[in-house]
Amino acid sequence: MLYEDMKLAFIGTGYVGLVTGACMAELGHHVVCADIDKKKIAKIKKGVMPIYELGLEELVEKNVKEGRLTFTASIADAMKSAEVVFSAVGTPEDKKTGKADMQYVHAVAEAFGKNLNSYKILVNKSTVPVGTADAVRDIITHVSKGGHEFDVVSNPEFLREGAAIKDFLNPDRVVVGVSSDRAKEIMEKIYRPIARAGRPVMVTDIRSAELIKYASNAFLAVKITFANEMANFCELAGANIKEVAKGMGADSRIGSRFLYAGIGYGGSCFPKDVQALMETGKEHGFDFSIIKAADKVNDAQKLRPIQMLKKQYKSLKGKTVGIWGLSFKPRTDDVREAPARYIIEELLRAGAKVKAFDPVAMESFKLSFPDKRVKYVESAYDAVEDADALVVCTEWDEFRTVEYPELASRMKARVIIDGRNIFERREAEKEGFTYFGIGV
* Statement: residue 2 has pLDDT above 70: no
Q: Is the model's pLDDT at 95 over the cut of 90?
A: no
- Alpha carbon distance 340, 323 (integer Å): 8
Confidence band, pLDDT 50/70/90 cuts, at residue 129: very high
Backbone angles phi, psi at 369, to 5 degrees: -140, 75
Helix ranges (H only) for 31-171 are 38-45, 56-65, 75-81, 103-114, 132-144, 164-169
| pLDDT, position 147 | 85
Q: What is the pTM for the complete model shown? A: 0.91
**pLDDT average, residue stretch 10-33:** 97
424 alpha carbon, distance to own chain's centre: 28
Do the Cβ atoms of 342 and 361 come closer than 8 Å? no
* Per-residue pLDDT, 4: 67
- Residue 87, classed as helix, strand or coil, is strand
Which residue out of 23, 33, 234, 269 is catalytically annotated?
269
Query: Is the per-residue pLDDT at 3 higher than 70?
Result: no
- Is 393 marked active-site? no
Residues in the chain: 440
The pLDDT of residue 5 is 86
Residues 284-307: what's their mean pLDDT?
97
Residues 105-110 have a mean pLDDT of 98
pLDDT band at 389 (very low <50, low <70, confident <90, very high): very high
Q: How confident is the model at residue 418 (pLDDT cuts 50, 70, 90)?
A: very high
The residue ranges of DSSP E strands in 91-217, in sequence order, are 120-124, 150-154, 174-177, 201-204
Task: Name the percent of the chain lying above pLDDT 70.
Answer: 99
Q: What are phi and psi of 151, to 5 degrees?
A: -130, 150
How high is the mean pLDDT of the chain?
A: 96
The domains found in the chain, sorted by start residue, are: 7-204 (3.40.50.720), 214-300 (1.10.1040.10), 302-436 (3.40.50.720)
